[in-house]
Structure 1
Amino acid sequence: MAAPWSESDSDQLARLHESGQSLHAIAKQMGRSKQTISRWADKLGLTFDRSMTAKAAEAVHVDNKSKRVTLEARLLDEGGKLLDQLWDPTIVFSFGGSDNLYSEHQLERPTFGDQKAIVQAVSTALAAANKLAELHNDGHDLPAVDAWLEAMTGANDDNQRPVGEVEAGS
């Protein structure tokens, strides 16, 4: 349990606050919880400027968005490289026999099982890239998506039923 709050704690809090330190930094330096520092700062009439925190958070958000875009592009590139392997010659190998000898053979293309694994890996990469695209899209392209869906489904054509509507008697 922490020692009771003292006048010297109040003085130290005021000095640290005046030096521009954050609530978190002051709590860490004084060995107190952020709640305790916040409560005593309120009692002393001290406030913490959150504008720097908001700017820092926005900077982190922008940096992360850039990283997601880069990662999305890398996933798509790697998925393409994996697809190229589907029909490329491949080497199969094994160690065996009493002498544990290495043996290899070149095949015209990967085995069916390996091709299946490649397709699954590509599918995983594409799904991850699509999730990243959704994250950085932030809904800005929704009107374009709506227009595309209308064009694909013919929802605005007078002769077409809206998507999901069932004809009577069906």
Structure 2
Amino acid sequence: MAAVNGIDTPPGGRAPIDDATRERIVQLAQEGMSRNAIARETGAGTSTVSRICKAAGVTFDRTQTAKATTAHQMDLKAERERLAKRLLAEATAALDQLHAPHVVVGWYQGMASEHTLDRPASGDVKNYMLAAAVALDKHIAIHQLDGSDRDAAVVDQWLEWVFRGIDPMNATGSPI
């Protein structure tokens, strides 16, 4: 055993809790202080605080924790919604590139020259399609995670517009 503040303690352990500290722990818990705050104030471990309070028949009110957890979950869902909208916009932008003029650079005798094509080359078409598909897939995955049927209808509408050649970002009555 090692001595901590003149009191013998097991190796790696804390000094035993004296009766005055036990009473203070119970009093603070009854006043509504959180377990972690009591541990910080008294220098006792959180599990020790829990054990002392349990033995004294004192429980901790978890409503604040539940409210904080719910608020955090709502914040995360809102952030996922923002991300899903960005992914949908990126998918649209990638698909728009399929019908936009495309600049290619060619080299001849060490000199670069640019040429503008009416449409991207086939390799670029593949890359734009892949980028759009991945972004759309991740958009859908986010909405499946949150279980929103309304949002799935939005994606269905977006897909219909894309395949009919309508720009979803400028369509009237856009659900996006």
Instruction: Please report the TM-score for the alignment, with normalisation by the length of structure 1.
Output: 0.64
Q: C-alpha root-mean-square deviation of aligned residues, in Å?
A: 3.2
Give the AA of the match of 1:41: C
Q: 1:123 aligns with which of 133, 144, 164?
A: 133
Displacement of 1:52 after TM fit? 1.2
Q: Which residue of 2 aligns with 1:60?
A: 72
| Equivalent pairs, count | 139
Q: Distance in 1 between matches of 2:138 and 2:64?
A: 33
Give the AA of the match of 1:129: H
Q: 2:121 aligns with which of 107, 111, 114?
A: 111
Q: Which has the higher contact order (CA 8 A, sep 6+)?
A: 1
8 Å CA contact retained: 1:69, 1:136: no
- Is residue 68 of structure 2 the alignment partner of residue 39 of structure 1? no
Partner deviation per Cα, 1:93-152 (whole Å, 9 max, x = no partner): 489987xx76543333223222212111111111111111112226x78xxx9xxxxxxx
Displacement of 1:80 after TM fit? 0.7
Q: Which residue of 1 aligns with 2:103?
A: 91
Displacement of 1:49 after TM fit? 0.3
Displacement of 1:39 after TM fit? 1.1
Partner deviation per Cα, 1:9-29 (whole Å, 9 max, x = no partner): 324424543553322343455
8 Å CA contact retained: 1:76, 1:126: yes
- Label 1:88 to 1:45 Cα distance change in 2 as closer, same or farther (>3 A): same
Q: Which residue of 1 aligns with 2:171?
A: none
Long gaps (5+) in structure 1: 146-170
Question: Is 47-56 or 20-29 further displaced after alignment?
Answer: 20-29
Long gaps (5+) in structure 2: 1-12, 154-176
Displacement of 1:59 after TM fit? 1.6
- Label 1:9 to 1:80 Cα distance change in 2 as closer, same or farther (>3 A): same
Question: Is 62-71 or 28-37 further displaced after alignment?
Answer: 28-37
Please state whether the residue corresponding to 1:46 is helix, strand or coil: coil
Q: Report sequence identity in percent.
A: 35
- Label 1:83 to 1:28 Cα distance change in 2 as closer, same or farther (>3 A): farther
